[in-house]
Amino acid sequence: MQLKPLGRSGLQVSPLAFGGNVFGWTVDEAASFRLLDAWLDAGFNFIDTADVYSSWVPGHAGGESETIIGKWLRASGKRDRVVLATKVGKPMGEGRKGLSPRYIREAVEASLKRLQTDRIDLYQSHDDDADTPLEETLGAFADLIRAGKVRAIGASNHTAPRLAEALDVAERLGLPRYESLQPLYNLYDRAVYEEALEPLCVQRNVGVINFYALAAGFLTGKYRSEADAAKSARGKSTTAKYLNPRGLRILAALDEAAAAHDGATPAQVALAWQIARPSITAPIASATSLAQLDELRQAAELRLDAATLARLDAASAEAAPTAPPAAA
């Protein structure tokens, strides 16, 4: 599988990242091990998680995903085959959040212990922290890089002005810079990334590993009506945002493209569209079964021609495509 450079970090990553939010949530430990083994066997090497996964589950406190990944790394002996990314900053209990140097030092040790490794390849600021000066946050990351505990750093959920400011501070003070951005981006959620973040990332050579690549499952095509959405809690949550004329127009274009590409699925086409975008390094996608993982493998191998990409661009535009003028 062709690997891609992640910003200027020196890290080489597969064209898709496995989203580790499912580990310990919708996928138990044994199934997680099988999926992680199959991910590497399929030629991928990039795994993304966070310390806070999966604190939203009743009875969980965060750290469940990292713990499972750590057990797998120890049992499998495959640490050197993995580009391992995790995040810091989301609330993990009283006084445990943000990007202060004190908390970063505490949080990284906890993540390293759960992950059962001596290093994190990509350590990401999960949220911006306006209460901590950027030079303090980046200085703390610099200490971790010097100590060999972190190889590179990235940002998640940052606006273009704040990402630009962080890059400028790093350059001015000679500190490590954010080598990647993790924004919301997919065929439906395009405007925020494309209008300001994408030009900045291209100009400053920042890698992009976007989340919600399948729009919480909507771009798989399984939610096409209110009745479909009512079948699951996740479906109900996607209905209000995606199940509208524009969303249905996108699904129709995905159906058309899938039919034209040897029986590809809408999900594979949606991911291939993102992979083909020059600014995108590796969309993040999850799988809860080996069949879903194989679908991701095929998505990474799918190549869309220019005409198909253009049709998907037009169908997913924020405004409805303009009808051609009537013949004179």
Active site residues per annotation = 53
C-alpha distance from residue 274 to each of 213, 284, 285 (Å):
8, 10, 12
Q: Is the dihedral of CA 44, 265, 281, 30 positive or negative?
A: negative
Rounded to an integer, what is the distance from CA 49 to the centroid of its chain? 9
Pairing of strands 83-88, 284-285: unpaired
Contacts of 250 (CB under 8 A, 6+ apart): 187, 188, 219, 312, 315, 316
For residues 273 and 316, the answer to whether their CB atoms sit within 8 Å is no
Max CA separation in the chain (angstroms): 72
Give residue 220's region: left, alpha or beta (phi > 0; psi -120 to 50). Answer: alpha
Give Cβ neighbours of residue 124 (< 8 Å, ≥ 6 apart). 50, 85, 86, 87, 88, 153, 154, 155, 156, 180, 182
- Count CA atoms within 13 Å of residue 308 on its CB side: 20
Of 158, 95, 94, 92, which is closest to residue 124 (Cα–Cα)? 158
Are 151 and 119 in contact, with CB atoms under 8 Å apart? yes
Question: How far is Cα 245 from Cα 267, in angstroms, rounded to an integer?
Answer: 19
User: Are the C-beta atoms of residues 321 and 314 closer than 8 Å to each other?
Assistant: yes
279 near 208, Cβ under 8 Å?
yes
